[in-house]
Amino acid sequence: MAECPSSSFIAHLRSVLPKDGTREALITSVIPTLLESIADVAEALRNSHHVAAAGTANSFGDDQLNVDVTAENLIRSAIARCPTITTASSEEDPVERRVQHTTPPPCPSSAPTSEEYTLAFDPLDGSSIIRANWTVGAILSLWDGPTALHQPPATAQIASLLGVFGPRTTAILALRVPNSGLAPVCIELALSADRAWHVATPQLALADTARYFSPANLRAAAEDPAYLALVTGYVARRYTLRYAGGLVPDVVHMLVQGEGVYVSPVTAGSKAKLRRLYELCPLALVVECARGRAVDPVDGRGVLEREVRGCDERGGLVCGSAGEVGGVVERLVEGQ
């Protein structure tokens, strides 16, 4: 059962979100519920001593692990207690459906609200590395209204939450509310032993240049000379390799270090595999709220410049420090 948030955490949210009452449910119910679901997943993973195939596949045809199913069920259970999240879809069940709510909600708002949100989430990102007990994550994105599809992501996607399950449990919360007059924020949170969330870093920010690089989809370098040259150039310039093989930990490493570039290109032999709704758009919002850039490696356009038209849309990703992303675009896109 989700608990009501602490007064200190509520106070911090009020300081970075509109004070006119238009986002009261977001402050007192939605964000605390999503964070509680991250805590639930973290606890379940700590006690999942056997990671194995569940014998099922999601709608994309990907084999599911038992921990995938557990994480999915815990997040679904949490949002069922949050009345303003009215629609949800996930990478495990990629169809937008109305949320069947339970009653009463854990922290009901003091007054009726017109707020309505859609949640799109990847309950457990990093299935390929979880058996080795490496850091994995969860990706949750919150959209205004009853659907995340056919809307401008740059304004309709107002929040993104990354759960990070490693030696510690942390979370990255990005918030960008349109027409509010408030600056976007990217907050690092830490979970304590008593399941309380604390603000670890009030504003994460990426420097324009970097010395860390994460070359995802590295096999593409065998067929793309430009990508091979890019990676070789990083090595020649003595950049530091930081690549865990998981999207969440690789991006979070950049954020907490304050610099870095993540590159996942697309080639004829290495097709795009990152889903725009469940991975690309939420990661792009996080990076942009940290003053970085996130672009499509095929044409260099911003990830959030295109609306999502279907739950299975996929793409590549270049994100991180703005200057470094610009350099990748010059080599992989403009240099072709």
What are 8-41's pLDDT values in tens digits? 778 889 999 999 999 999 999 999 999 999 999 9
pLDDT tier at 61 (50, 70, 90 boundaries)? low
pLDDT digits (tens, 9 = 90+) for 66-90: 899 999 999 999 999 999 999 999 9
Provide the 10 A C-beta neighbour count for residue 4: 13
DSSP characters over 69-132: HHHHHHHHHHHTT-TTEEEEEESSS-S-EE----SS-SS--SS-----EEEEEEEEE-HHHHTT
Write down all domains in the chain, each with its CATH number in brackets.
7-201 (3.30.540.10), 212-334 (3.40.190.80)
What is the overall mean pLDDT for the chain?
91
d(CA 21, CA 311): 32
pLDDT tens by residue, 314-329? 999 999 999 999 999 9
Question: Taking the chain, what is the end-to-end CA distance rounded to the nearest angstrom?
Answer: 53
pLDDT, tens digit, for every residue of 241-252? 999 999 999 999
Q: What is the pLDDT of residues 166-216, one digit of tens each?
A: 999 999 999 999 989 999 999 999 999 999 999 999 999 999 999 999 999
Amino acid at 31: I
Cβ neighbours of residue 2 under 8 Å, at least 6 residues apart?
32, 33, 36, 37, 78, 81, 82, 106, 107
Mean pLDDT of 112-131: 91
Question: Is pLDDT at 62 greater than 90 in this prediction?
Answer: no
Torsions phi, psi of 46, nearest 5? -60, -25
Residue 2's pLDDT is 43
Structure tokens at 95: 């169809």
Q: Give the residue among 162, 167, 160 at the shortest CA–CA distance from 135.
A: 167
Q: What is the pLDDT of residue 113?
A: 74
| pLDDT band of 112, cuts 50, 70, 90 | low
pTM reported for the whole predicted model: 0.93
Question: In angstroms, rounded to a whole number, what is the distance separating the alpha carbons of residues 242 and 211?
Answer: 10
Q: If you average pLDDT over each of 1-10, 56-65, 82-91, which comes out highest?
A: 82-91
Query: Can you count the helices (H) and strands (E) in the chain?
Result: 10, 17
- Residue 106: pLDDT over 60: no
Q: What is the 3-state secondary structure (H, E, C) of 148-163?
A: CCCCCHHHHEEEEEEE
Q: What is the pLDDT of residue 1?
A: 42
Query: What sign for the dihedral angle of Cα 29, 35, 39, 40?
Result: positive
Those residues whose C-beta lies under 8 Å from the C-beta of residue 333, and which sit 6 or more positions away, are 297, 298, 299, 300
Selection from 208, 274, 210, 281 nearest residue 246 by Cα:
274
